[in-house]
Amino acid sequence: MKSIRITARCPIRTTLELVGGKWKLLILFQLVETPLRLSEMKKKIPEISEKMLIQELKTLVESGLAVRRNFGEVPPRVEYSLTEMGRAVLPLIEEMRNFAGRYEENLLKQRTSGT
């Protein structure tokens, strides 16, 4: 693996700014299959407060990873979906899932072997 110099705009820092935190990757992952309304997303991630969900969605829209579509109807109907750049995050999410699986497996082996 190539070593990178840690600077204000290094790739790792940029990635963390865009998708770091407790909720952003979970929100992006929910948008993989289909656009979702706020209420649908809240049901899929019940632990997040509505205020935090709105805030994180706004950040994802501003960064170009998601798009907000207002249908101009009464009552208001708004959906969120991934942009092409947002879809580019999916391999990162998949690799994180793989890492977590390997990590959990390793922990289980350590516990059962007594080390």
Within a domain: 30: yes
Q: How many CB atoms lie within 10 A of CB 36?
A: 18
Taking 70 as the threshold, does the pLDDT of residue 34 lie above it? yes
Gyration radius of the chain over CA positions: 17
**pLDDT at position 5:** 65
Query: Is pLDDT at 115 greater than 60 in this prediction?
Result: no
In a domain, 2, yes or no: no
Q: What's the CATH number where 56 sits? A: 1.10.10.10
Quote the CA–CA distance of 107 and 115 in Å, as a whole number: 10
Tell how strand 78-82 and strand 66-70 pair up: antiparallel
Residue 6 lies in a domain: no
The whole domain housing 52 covers 11-113
In a domain, 66, yes or no: yes
pLDDT tens digit string along 57-98? 999 999 999 999 998 888 889 999 999 999 999 999 999 999
Would residue 3 count as lying in a domain? no
What's CA 96's distance to the chain center, in Å? 11
- Domain total for the chain? 1
